Amino acid sequence: MKQANALIIDDEPDILELLAMTLQQMNVICTTADTVESAKDKLNTENFDLCLTDMKLPDGDGMEIVSHIQDICPKTPVAIITAHGNMELSIEAMKLGAFDFVSKPVELSRLRSMVSSALRQKDHTEKNHKNTVYRLHGQSKKMQQLRETIEKLARSQAPVYISGASGSGKELVARLIHEQGGRYTGPFVPVNCGAIPSELMESEFFGHKKGSFTGAVTNKTGLFAAADGGTLFLDEVADLPLVMQVKLLRAIQERAIRPVGSEKEIPVNIRILSATHHDLAKEVREGSFRQDLFYRINVIELKVPSLSERSEDIPELVDSLLHRMCEKDRLPIITPKAMSLLEQYHFPGNVRELENILERAITLSGGDKIDANDLQLPDHTAKALHSSTEPVERHFVRGNKTLDDFMDDIERKAISETLEACRWNKTAAAKELGITFRAMRYKLKKLGLE
C-alpha cells in the first residue's frame, strides 16, 4: 500500500495512540486532533486520504466532522468511532456521508480492513473509472442524476436499498456501486432471495458443517462467506420469510455468521446492497417485512427510473442491445417507423422487455432490417398511444404464462429441435434458423440451453 495521510480525532490519548500505531504499521502518516475545532482547522489547511473521528468530542460530535468533510472535501472517506451497540448513530452518520463505522472497543483486524478499503476507495475514485465493465446507457436527466448518485454511494459502505420496477436494471446499478467503490477488488455475489427454498435458506446464506443435517455430506461455504471482502446483493429481498429476516438482521448487525451445525461465529466483512420491485415500506406496514431489518438495509434508498420515464434514451439503448445481440458487421437497420413506435410504447417490462422485443424482431426480420411489423407490439397498444395518455399493460396471459414466457417456450422448442437435427452444431443450427452465431449464443444463454 502506498503511503497515505490520515487525520485521527479523539479526546482520549490512549485511543489516539492505539489508532496511530495501528495505522503507522500500514504505512499511514497520522495527524491527530482532540476537538472539533482543531480538526476543522487541520482539514481546512491540509489534505488527507482518510479521517477517523470519535462520535463524542469535548466541543461537539463526529457528525459535525462528517458534514464539514462533505462540504470541503467530499471524496475523502471519513469513518466514525462509536460506543458498542450504538447502531442508530452509526446509521445517521452514514446517511450524512460517512464511509463506515467501527465500534469501541476497537477490533484492530476490523480497523485494518476498514482503513484498507477506505484507501482503496480514495485511490479508485481519483482514477478514471469510466472504462468499467458495466455501463448505464442513456443521457436523459434522470440517468445523469442516477450516475452521479451511484458515484457518491460508491464512496460509502452504507447499505443501499435499490427500488424500481421489474426489468429496470437494479442489478446493473448494484454492480456499478460495487465496481466504483473500495471493494471493487473483492467479489460481487448476487442472490435472488425468491429463488431459494425456505428450508435451505439458512444453509445457503450462512453455510453448514458436514453432518449438521441429512444430506450435509460436506462442509458448505455460504453466500455471506463467499462475499467476504466484497458485496452481497440481495435481489427480491421482500421474498425472504420472516424467520430468515431475523437471522439476516443479526448477521448484518453483528457482522458475523454462524454456519448451520457450528458453535463458532465467523466474522464477515461485506457490504449489503438489496433490491425488490415490491413496495417495501408497504410490506412493513402489512407486517410481512420486519421494520428493524428495513431500517438496516434501507440506510439510503436509490430509485431506478422506469424506461417510460426516460423514453429519450430508447435509441441509445436499442443501439447497445443490437450490438450485444448481433455481430458488428451484420447489425440490422431499424427503420424510423419502428423506432418511433418503440419511443411511444409504454414498456411495462422496462429494459428487459425492450430486449425481448428486439430479440424477437431480429428473428422475424431475418437480421437485415427491423420494420414496425417485426416488433410485434400489441395492436391495441399502438392505437392507444395515439388516443390515450393512460399506460397500457402488456402482460397478456396464455394459460398461466405471459406473452413473453409463451414466446420464449416457442423459441426454446424451435432452437432445441434445430440443434438436435444439426447434431448440436451451433454454427449449422444458427445458419438453419437464419440468425447469426452471436445471436445464437445469446439465445442459448437467455433460454437456459447452454
DSSP per-residue codes, 92-144:
HHHHHT--EEEEESPPHHHHHHHHHHHHHHHHHHHS---S-S------SHHHH
- Do 374 and 348 fall into the same domain? yes
Regarding whether 282 and 147 lie in a shared domain, the answer is yes
Predicted confidence (pLDDT) per residue in 128-147, tens digit: 554 566 789 999 999 999 99
Render pLDDT for 277-313 as a digit per residue (tens, 0 to 9).
899 999 999 999 999 999 999 999 999 999 999 999 9
- Predicted local distance difference test score (pLDDT) of residue 396: 42
What is the model's pLDDT at position 381? 46
For residue 20, the Cα-to-chain-centroid distance in whole angstroms is 34
Return the CATH number at 98. Answer: 3.40.50.2300
**Is 136 within the bounds of a domain?**
no
Residue-wise pLDDT for 232-275, tens only, equals 999 999 999 999 999 999 999 888 999 999 989 999 999 999 99
**Same-domain check for residues 85 and 149:** no
Cell numbers given for 212: 449438521
Mean of per-residue pLDDT scores for the chain: 86
Q: What is the mean pLDDT of residues 97-115?
A: 89
- State the pLDDT at residue 207: 93
CATH code where residue 294 lies: 3.40.50.300
Same domain, 200 and 170: yes
Amino acid at 293: L
Q: Mark which of 274, 303, 332 sits at the end of a domain.
A: 303
Per-residue pLDDT tens digits for 13-64:
999 999 999 999 999 999 999 999 999 999 999 999 999 999 999 999 999 9
Is pLDDT above 60 for 231?
yes
Whole-model pTM: value is 0.77
Q: What is the mean pLDDT of residues 175-180?
A: 94
Better pLDDT: 417 or 349: 349
The whole-number pLDDT of residue 388 equals 39
Same domain, yes or no: 120 and 182: no
Domain count, the chain: 3
Of 126, 152, 167, the residue at which a domain comes to its end is 126
Alpha-carbon gap, residue 98 to 104, rounded angstroms: 17
Whether the predicted pLDDT of 442 surpasses 90? no
Please give the Cα distance from 421 to 428 (Å, whole number).
10
Length of the chain: 450
How high is the pLDDT of residue 237? Answer: 95
Q: Which CATH number fits the domain that encloses residue 320?
A: 1.10.8.60
pLDDT score, position 233: 97
Q: Quote the percentage of the chain above a pLDDT of 90.
A: 56
The reply to whether 219 and 298 lie within a common domain is yes
pLDDT tens digits for range 59-69: 999 999 999 99
Query: Both 358 and 320 in a single domain?
Result: yes
Which residues are bridge partners to 313 per DSSP? none
Please enumerate in sequence order all residues whose Cβ is within 8 A of that of 109, keeping only pairs 6 or more positions apart, or say none: 267
Whether residue 442 sits in one domain with residue 328: yes
Range of the domain at 102: 4-126
What pLDDT sits at residue 392?
38
Tell me which of 183-192, 245-254, 364-373 is least confident: 364-373
